[in-house]
A and B are shown apart, each in its own frame.
Chain A
Amino acid sequence: MTTNILEKDGALVAEFKGRLDTAAAPQVESEVKPLMEASGKDVILDCTELSYISSSGLRIFLSILKTVKPKGAHVYITGMNNDLRNVFTMTGFINLFEFK
């Protein structure tokens, strides 16, 4: 599981690659800290290469949303496959995030 943070067109982009399971969660959580610390910039979570997400991963996504949104910025998810979208649907997360 790797996480890449980069800035693109004034927005912060996090590229996830691999399985975001409970075992990987602590590491990912620390790697996405810059997203939460940046002020006022939109955040794009790029899930094109993400193959799996457990509730631990969902919690990290929710934490990002809860920190960024109050600053007036948006959190977008891009490139998510159908299996992951199912998970988002099952948990109601599909209503919380904006998808591109």
Chain B
Amino acid sequence: MKFLNDLLKDSVATRTSLLVFVLITIIMLTGGFYQMKRVRDVVADETNRQAGRAMDGVLADIDSRISNVETAVETAAAFADRNTQDESLCYELLYRLISKNNDIAAATLLYRENFFPELGRYYAPTVTRDPLTGELAADEIGGPDNDFCYLETDSNWIYTNILEKGYWCLPYVDSMSTKRAMVTYSVPLYDAKDSIYAVLCADVALDWVRDIVEDAKPYPYSRVIVLSRDSQYVCHPEPEWIQTVNVIDHATQLQDTDYLNLASRMLSWKRGTDTLQEDVTYMATDDKAHDESTIVYYAPVPRVQWSVSFTMPESKIMEQPNILWRSMLILLVVMLVLISIVLNLVVRAQIWPLKQLALATQEIAKGHFNKPLPKISTHDEIRNMRDSFEEMQSSLAHYINELQVSTAAKASIQSELKVASEIQMSMLPKLFPPYPDRDDIDIFGALAPAKAVGGDLYDFYIRDEKLFFCIGDVSGKGVPASLVMAVTRSLFRTISQHESQPDRILSQINNTLSDQNESNMFVTLFAGALDLPTGRLRYSNAGHDSPLLVGDGIQLLPCDSNIPAGVIQNWKYTPQETMIAPQTTIFLYTDGLTEAENKQHELFGEDRLAAVAEACAKAQEQKPQHLIERMTKAVQTYVGDAEQSDDLTMLAIQYTKSMRAEHMHRTITLPNDVQKVPELAQFVEEVCEEVGFDMATTMQLNLALEEAVVNVMNYAYPSGVTGNIDIDARANDVRLKFTISDSGSPFDPTAKEEVDTTLSAEERSIGGLGIHLIRQIMDSINYEYVDGKNVLTLRKRLNTQNQDINLNL
């Protein structure tokens, strides 16, 4: 069953063939049945007609034979008087009667009691015909030897005493010699007084009846049955049934309703046909069953009150139709098989292109987009489908191609972004401590991005003894934020190279960011410049969280919040400044710290931050790394397993300047006249001499000081205005420091862009060499505008080995 199911599901050809096969079978079988029924009806009708014709012939024959006998006997009776009165003449009558009629087997005269007293009480002369030879013989069956009167007995034989005319008795079996089935016609003879004196009888052997019926039966296989009015058989295929079996009794005994009804109808002298399920008429009570359906055709012979019937086994009648039906069925089966095979082949041939198409499509599905589809020469649905597939194939190939290109592009963008993120992260100072050889500053920073690339930034670097630092948070997260962050960080670096004022750095960053800021990204930014020699912190804030100052206690650095950078162009950021006491740590952070969430979405908050910072301050543990590690631990404990919601960035800067003892202090004041340069040279040489510099270093310091002072002479005061320049030289164990101050207009020589010493002669400009030489020669250059004075500080480390070791302690 499962196999069949699979077969039907797997093959359109098989399914279609089977479907058509079943339909054709049903249609043809229905037609065949209908046709066969008609054939059977026609055959049955024909059989009936034939049986009717045969029956008519039989009835006519029997009637004519019987009526012949009747006529002969009636005629003989009519003139019997002449012979019957004399015992010698009566045989003549009998001879004449029997000789003229071959059907008469015996003719008898039965006289009344004592008609011829001398011849015995009952006289009954008879003439019989030998059934074999046909010879006639006279006999006497009454007389003294046979002392009974036929006329007075109530026998089947003669009812003459009741009936007044000719009478056919019931059939009987001859009790004499031959044991033949017989029937007797009796006619009463009346005397002059109209009383019966004798009866003339003619015995008729019924052999001919059987012969007639046998001859006339419509089919050789028909059986013939004749019933008489006493319900007994006159004719029957089984001779022993004749006159022995009562049909009503038989039917009752068999409890066969059909049989009983048939017998009743026959015995009420009807004509017709009946169908018996079994041919019980033929069957002995204990005989084998004839279980085939049988048609019985019957008709009465009124003259003798017989009913004649033919039985016709239906199988015999329907033999030919059945043969026809069988051959039709065989033909049908052969046709169906042929049709199925042909249909299967045809359907297979029809769907072959479909199969090819399916195979080709499978190839396409595997990714072989260039696989050609099978050619189809028809213009039918399959062709349409093939064309659609071809279209789909080409658009698929096109689409996949585009997809590949865009995927590759996307992948390359992704990898480039990753590289960008790495570059960007590498931009941030990560090595701590960053200035191991400096004793005046200690810095530690940490940045934990929430996504792979973050929008937080911090940066710091020292230029000209100033620590420039910033911390910022770009709005949004991910790649766009990181791009803005990179830009911001670059801007901070480049702008602070030649701009030392944090407020101006912020202004420039703001202007650049807000110019054509179509994505409306902005950044909160805190920028500071810590003057390392003095501890003066200049700062400006663009909407960022105020840093904490962690010293003896904790204190929030007062900040004007202004607005974040990138929002409004030309915003004027307010400059602020304060003095940072030595050992104080400036703690900067982004809102990722205060807004770190635990699982209940509660924020870490400024109070917890302040509590951690205060604990550090009380324990005198303001060291940046320590502070940040404690803060990180506190946040991690608070957040627990919750996902990090924002970038978390911290930057701690501790100012660790310690005052050193001074060994040397000289000053000189010069007017703004370049012709005084030799005096400066003299001063520098004396100082160098005192701190023990060699000749080469002395010459270099000379050069640096000349460049610095000449610069001030040229630019500090307007042309024609005389002003003084104070040069102050101090030395401690570690370094020599020159401080050049003037009261001229503010001018920051360190803000000048560096000259490019790699350019060719044609490309080199004349200016910018001086400040370059100063940077080359001195360890640091530092500019401050304090109390209305330009203050330029130049430092040179004393190259004494011992002092270097001390420095590192």
Contacts and interface: CB of A to CB of B under 8 A. Distances in A.
Interface of A: 19, 21-23, 52, 54-56, 58-59, 62-63, 65-66, 69, 82-83, 86-87, 90-92, 95-96
8 contacts: A54-B703, A54-B706, A54-B770, A83-B695, A83-B699, A86-B696, A90-B772, A92-B756
Interface string B686-708: 00000000011001101100110
Nearest to B675: A23
Contact of B696 (A54, A59, A62, A83): A83
Contacts of A66: 761-762
B776 A21 contact: no
B766 interface: yes
A63 B710 CA distance: 20
Contacts, number: 70
B677 to A, nearest CB: 4
Overall SS of chain A's interface: helix
B678 interface: yes
B761 A82 contact: no
Q: Which 7 A-B pairs have the closest CB atoms?
A: A92-B757, A55-B769, A90-B776, A23-B677, A55-B770, A96-B761, A22-B710
A21 B677 contact: yes
Contact of B764 (A22, A82, A83, A96): A96
B757 A21 contact: no
Contacts of B710: 22, 54, 56
B702 to A, nearest CB: 7
B680 to A, nearest CB: 9
A91 B700 contact: no
Contact of B706 (A22, A59, A82, A95): A22
A86 to B, nearest CB: 7
Contacts of B769: 55, 58-59, 91
Contacts of B756: 92
A22 B681 CA distance: 11
B760 interface: yes
B757 A63 contact: no
Given A83-B695, A96-B760, 13 more contacts: A19-B681, A22-B706, A22-B710, A23-B674, A52-B699, A54-B770, A55-B707, A56-B710, A62-B764, A66-B762, A92-B757, A95-B757, A95-B758
A23 B678 contact: yes
A69 B777 CA distance: 30
Contacts of A96: 760-761, 764
Given A58-B769, A95-B758, A86 B700 contact: yes
A75 to B, nearest CB: 9
B673 to A, nearest CB: 9
B757 A52 contact: no
A21 B764 contact: no
A56 B675 CA distance: 13
Contacts of A83: 695-696, 699-700
A62 B760 CA distance: 11
Given A55-B770, A66-B761, A91-B773, A82 B696 contact: yes
Contacts of B675: 23
B705 to A, nearest CB: 10
A83 B695 CA distance: 9
A95 B764 CA distance: 12
Central interface residue in B674, B757, B769, B772, by most chain A CB within 10 Å: B769
A22 B677 contact: yes
